[in-house]
Structure 1
């Protein structure tokens, strides 16, 4: 039954995507997990504005003391899946690449910033790095019943050509962000107030840009979301932009079609239209 349900979901997703109104100014809003401090407010904005996004998820420490992929957030993640959002891995332990090792077999210096090993440096094989990408993907399946996209985002966007090549071998294509798509929610509030970040984004974002923000940044005193998020969405819509998930991004569509495999049953829910 699960296999049948997923096949139906896959067919429905393709049909829904094909039925989406034409748009010549798409942008792709992506949200990394962070502290989850503004996650409920972000969800309210997305629902109100009828916008779908792509979440990159890691098990990061939250303001409640747990992590962003623990059972406390199960209902939240499940609701995002039901709303039509997409998901991808941010590595389970939010693992920073620190360098390539000089070795015959690919090995990488890494440093998790979440989980029991946070702050320590390790040398991992390609298989170990891939396993951490996969762990986050599988946890998303466990929480939502929806298979994540075969994509990942390295924390901080830090990678090497060798790392990216090994990730592709295990089925994951890397996604960064556009220069204008860095929305600035990680920057200090005193130097980069919300009104400045909003004006900058509205001025510089162009069609095709991948946008990046988070579900909570511990160090920012004046939270970026939802203060900037909704005015940004409204402003971009006013300028003729539409919001799409990475499933529809021309750079990744073929990769997703070739590597996307069903994993667990989920209930089809119509995707939003802008």
Structure 2
């Protein structure tokens, strides 16, 4: 009888242990599949078309989305055959609309006529929030300082690789930008981050920006003087995108942005 009782107790202990183990395993295999909300259906970008939810900044027809940066007069860059080209001396332009976190696409082409070298060859730039420059440069067989090459975060981060095409060929940038966050008193709470894909190759991988491009040393400020402008202003929120007139011939097409 005693042996039978001990056997029964052993079985009960084993059953309890199995039940406890089953509960643990069940807790570890909780169904984490999300049932909603459904992501919006968006038609993706084609070879020359923007996604269906994009804000088109240049479609080849006009510069209605842009103004001259310093004066806010209509942008006067030359448009021909669906392409807009920097007219040297016509001044830097900026978007009328301000942006924060974005996905940006633009296609650019330095002139096929090789003139100058280093920073004097096919130089322009796209300024995120009018402050942080992603360098545009003819970097095909054109030595210069590494954090000034095409695909660099100018004077901060050199590109991971040189993805440049020969002069006269179209190139493209796809840029993911996470804007900085400032507190109510102007203090920096989170720096900016950027990923740059140049001609299909990652050249900046979610790098942290050190601050504004054109300051003696990169630094953040809730107030700043945006590139090519003259007055200090509030820079703690959304800001325009800026395309640089560096005095050299560079063309652009198919520019669009998605707010994130």
Q: Kindly name which structure, 1 or 2, has the bigger radius of gyration based on alpha carbons.
A: 2
Give me the TM-score of the superposition, normalised by structure 2. 0.30
